[in-house]
Structure 1
Amino acid sequence: METPDIFYVEDDIDYAFFMQSAVQEVKDTLNLVIVEDGAEAMVKLEQFAESKTKPKLILLDLNLPGLSGLDLLKFIKDIPYLKSIPVILFSTSDNPDDVKKSIEFGANAYLTKPDGYDNLVKCVHSVHDFWFNQYLRMN
């Protein structure tokens, strides 16, 4: 199994497409794997743990059908092999309660999805600069 640089759980197919394009625009060598729902994400995360492959970064949409992003976050943090992976909740919600719960459950960051493609590219660029150029180099 190829290890993704970014594992992204997003149920909005259009937004996932824009994210794929934005990631490629920021750095075309990044391997982005996208799954559409929490159940599929759990299966994939278990496969990562079993095969000892580890994404460098996990992005979780908060509002997913079935299992929520918070449910997945708890699942990730309960698996010793996966719990050290940085997890960013990436949502349209800017509700302070959502942000607070995400951080309490172990998210490394919470980002509100930006409006417009250009802003998404800027956001992905910032995420890449911090998490790939700073954080992962230190850890």
Structure 2
Amino acid sequence: MFSGMASVWIVDDDPDDQSFMKAAFTSIRPDIQIMALDDGETFLSRIAQTRTLPKIVLLDLNMPGITGFDTLKRLRSNHSYDDLTIVVLTAFSMATTTDRNQALALGANQFYTKPNTYKDLLALIKTITVHLCD
């Protein structure tokens, strides 16, 4: 279980997706601090400056500028982040087996398509917190 100020960072350029994910985490685990970042460049800059790493990073693949793949590749090239749990999320219509395999090969711990309903998002967040936060 989380103790203290454990956090989850959401890296996603879609403000609606950020809001839904924040609400789902808050509903399920109000003890988790949530940080939302709009792009991979901001995430990489912020994580390089933080003293306390998040427990989980939810990383969107399809972002303008530096993509989720590029963000993942750059993050995993620094061994300081080897133990950081990265969960890649992508829109259902964009998900392919190739995307999944590439994300996992680049060092993602898990790969999921973004749920279409809030109920399904809650189920996914429960899965993530049960399997990755305990």
> What TM-score results when the alignment is normalised by the length of structure 1?
0.87
CA RMSD of aligned residues (A): 1.2
SS in 2 for 1:63: coil
Q: Which structure 2 residue ranges, 5 or more long, are not aligned?
A: none
State the Cα distance separating 1:46 from its structure 2 match: 1.2
State the Cα distance separating 1:59 from its structure 2 match: 1.0
Count of residue pairs the alignment pairs up: 128
SS in 2 for 1:126: helix
> What TM-score results when the alignment is normalised by the length of structure 2?
0.90
Structure 1 distance, partners of 2:47, 2:29, is 24
1:73-128: per-residue Cα shift (whole Å, max 9, x none)? Answer: 11111122212111111111321110010011111110111111111011101111
1:35-70: per-residue Cα shift (whole Å, max 9, x none)? Answer: 00111111112112xx3x211111100001100111
Q: Give the equivalent residue in structure 2 for 1:26.
A: 28
Q: Give the equivalent residue in structure 1 for 2:125.
A: 124
The reply on whether 1:73 has 2:72 as its aligned counterpart is yes
Counterpart among 18, 24, 47 of residue 16 in structure 1:
18
Structure 2 distance, partners of 1:22, 1:56, is 16
Q: Which structure 1 residue ranges, 5 or more long, are not aligned?
A: 134-139
Q: Is the 8 A contact 1:4 1:33 kept in 2?
A: no
State the Cα distance separating 1:4 from its structure 2 match: 5.1
